[in-house]
Amino acid sequence: QKEVEQDPGPLSVPEGAIVSLNCTYSNSAFQYFMWYRQYSRKGPELLMYTYSSGNKEDGRFTAQVDKSSKYISLFIRDSQPSDSATYLCAIGNTPLVFGKGTRLSVIA
């Protein structure tokens, strides 16, 4: 079983839609949960960071962690074409364990 599972998509949505991205993980000891965004030919950049269970909101982005289910989510409200990118979940601290990434396209 992989440490982090993430559906690679691709996922295509119309502009303005709510996007839900998810990962599951196997190691219950993980405490740090991150979402990175990666544009084509660029490096990953940190989008959201949560510690332990709960929700965190930042503008149009909401990150959720359910440690009992070992399940993390990223929600994007009012999605924009500029949100088109690959979204990677990353878990742990040092070193980070990444999911495969979900490629998202937001169509105008």
Partner 1 sequence: EAGVTQFPSHSVIEKGQTVTLRCDPISGHDNLYWYRRVMGKEIKFLLHFVKESKQDESGMPNNRFLAERTGGTYSTLKVQPAELEDSGVYFCASSRFLSGTGEAGELFFGEGSRLTVL
Q: Which of 42, 57, 58, 81 binds partner 1 (CB under 8 A)?
A: 42
Binding to partner 1 (CB under 8 A) within 14-33 occurs at none
Longest CA span, the chain: 41
Nearer to partner 1, 64 or 86 (CB): 86
Residue 15 backbone zone (phi > 0: left; psi -120 to 50: alpha; other: beta): beta
Least separation in angstroms between CB 98 and partner 1: 4
Residue entry with tokens 């364990």: 97
Residue 49 found at the interface with partner 1 (CB under 8 A): yes
Distance of CA 91 to the CA centre of its chain: 10
Size of the site for partner 1 (CB under 8 A): 19
Q: Which of 18, 26, 46, 81 binds partner 1 (CB under 8 A)?
A: 46
In whole angstroms, what is the distance from residue 100 CA to residue 103 CA?
A: 10
Residue 78 found at the interface with partner 1 (CB under 8 A): no
Angle 104-40-99 (CA atoms, 0-180°, nearest 5)? 60
Residues that bind partner 1 (CB under 8 A): 2, 4, 41-46, 49, 88, 93-101
